[in-house]
Amino acid sequence: MLNYRETPEWGRPVKALATAWTGRDGVDHVVELGGGDTLAQSLRAVRAGGTVSLIGVLGGNRVDLPLGLVVTRAVRLQGVTVGSRDDFLAMCSAMARVQMRPVVDSIYPFEALHDAMAHLKNGQHFGKVCLQVA
């Protein structure tokens, strides 16, 4: 497991781990919360043709970005908005009112990540395939 505080240049190690686990050159999708401080690392971790979904700018909204990583590797940089707190509370209330629950196919301990990925790859699941941490 990598901690961004202990490994501030985490992009290449994450890419190497993803490559070792999947055989693909990097991760498919990065959910980016840090913004200016971490976007370059996300671009290093994502595979060619992958997506970086920029949801937050916790580390600042200015960035010195290596555009070559975006252009030459055809990375999709997607901004995502999540709505207001009131919107979130209204959604939670509606879900509780109708007793909406996600469909869960299976739950794997984090240590069985490879098994979970194999289960996803075979395409026989119905619903969410979850990883349980601690």
Q: What does the DSSP 8-state code read for residue 67? A: H
Per-residue pLDDT 10s for the chain (134 aa) are: 677 878 999 999 999 999 998 888 999 999 998 888 889 999 999 999 999 999 877 777 787 887 888 899 999 999 888 788 999 999 999 999 999 988 999 999 999 999 999 998 888 888 899 999 87
Q: Where are the domains of the chain?
A: 1-101, 102-134
Three-state DSSP at 50 gives strand
70: which DSSP letter? H
In the numeric block, the tokens 């190497």 are attached to: 16
pLDDT value of position 118: 94
Instruction: Scan for tokens 């693909």, then name that residue.
Output: 24
Q: Tokens 């985490």 identify what position? A: 10
Q: Is the pTM of this model over 0.95?
A: no
Q: Which CATH number fits domain 1-101: 3.40.50.970, 3.40.1110.10, 3.40.50.720, 3.40.80.10?
A: 3.40.50.720
